[in-house]
Structure formats: structure tokens, C-alpha cells
Amino acid sequence: MNAIPAVNPESANRKYIIRTVLFMGGYIAANLAALSGAFDDITPRGALAFALVVSAPILGHIWAFLAWIRESDEFVRGIATKRFVMAGGITLAVSSVWGLLEIYAKTPHVSAALVVPLFWLAFGLVSPFIRSSH
């Protein structure tokens, strides 16, 4: 049996906070620039590039969260993973049901960009109920 290197929970938390602030700062700055009209005269190709640029911090934050899980201790890793999986399941269920409602029942269209906030809302809702790694 090989010894598993001990983790540094404080370092993992600190890195996650810094990464989140940086990614969300970029996300907010890009959206504020768009809302202020900085990209109103953008070409279609430019709009595509801008949408991908705005998406990058979202992908970055997901990476930061998964990295935090990997760098945390085994208990935090266990409950965070359970919460992540449960929130993912809820998000899949809600978004697929809503999508089918849109197709067959003509319910109002909701942007797919709201899937990420829905996921974190689900994560927040399930967290108080998942407090054990069992």
C-alpha cells in the first residue's frame, strides 16, 4: 500500500476562490461591455467570437470547481461530488422536460444559457440535504 499524499484544504479553498473571482470578473466585465453597447456594431463572425469569449469564464469556473474537488480532502471531495451529481441530475431532468414542453406544449422558450444558473441553484438546494459522504 502506497501512502496517499496529504492534501492542503486551505490551499485548495484559496485557489478556488481566486479562480472563481477571476473567471466571474471576466464574465461580468464582458457582459457589462456588451450591455453598454460596446459590441452593437459587431459582425456576425465577431458576434460568434464574442459569444465564445463570454462562455470561456463559465467553462473556466466549472474547471475551477472540479479542480477544487480534486484538491480537497476525501470528505469534502465525497460530499461535493455527491452534490454535483445530484445537481446535474436535477438540471438534466428539468431542462429536458422543459425542452419537450416547448416542443409539444408550446411553453415559452427559455435560453439554454440558463442551464448553468439552474445547475448552481440545484446545487444550492441539495447541499443542505447531502451532509454525509456515505
Partner 1 sequence: MKNRLKALRAERDWTQEDLGKRVGVSRQAINALETEKHDPSLDLAYRIATQFGLTVEQVFVNPHGS
- List residues near partner 1 by CB under 8 A: 1, 3-9, 72-76, 78, 131-134
| Residue of 92, 91, 94 lying closest to 122 (CA atoms) | 91
Pick 55 or 127: Cβ nearer partner 1: 127
Q: In angstroms, what is the minimal distance from the CB of 117 to partner 1?
A: 26
Pick 5 or 37: Cβ nearer partner 1: 5
Q: In angstroms, what is the minimal distance from the CB of 83 to partner 1?
A: 14
Do residues 70 and 6 make contact, with C-beta atoms less than 8 angstroms apart? no
Pick 11 or 31: Cβ nearer partner 1: 11
Residue 60 has φ and ψ, to the nearest 5°, of -60, -40
Q: In angstroms, what is the minimal distance from the CB of 78 to partner 1?
A: 7
Do residues 82 and 129 make contact, with C-beta atoms less than 8 angstroms apart? no
Residue 113 has φ and ψ, to the nearest 5°, of -65, -20
Pick 70 or 97: Cβ nearer partner 1: 70
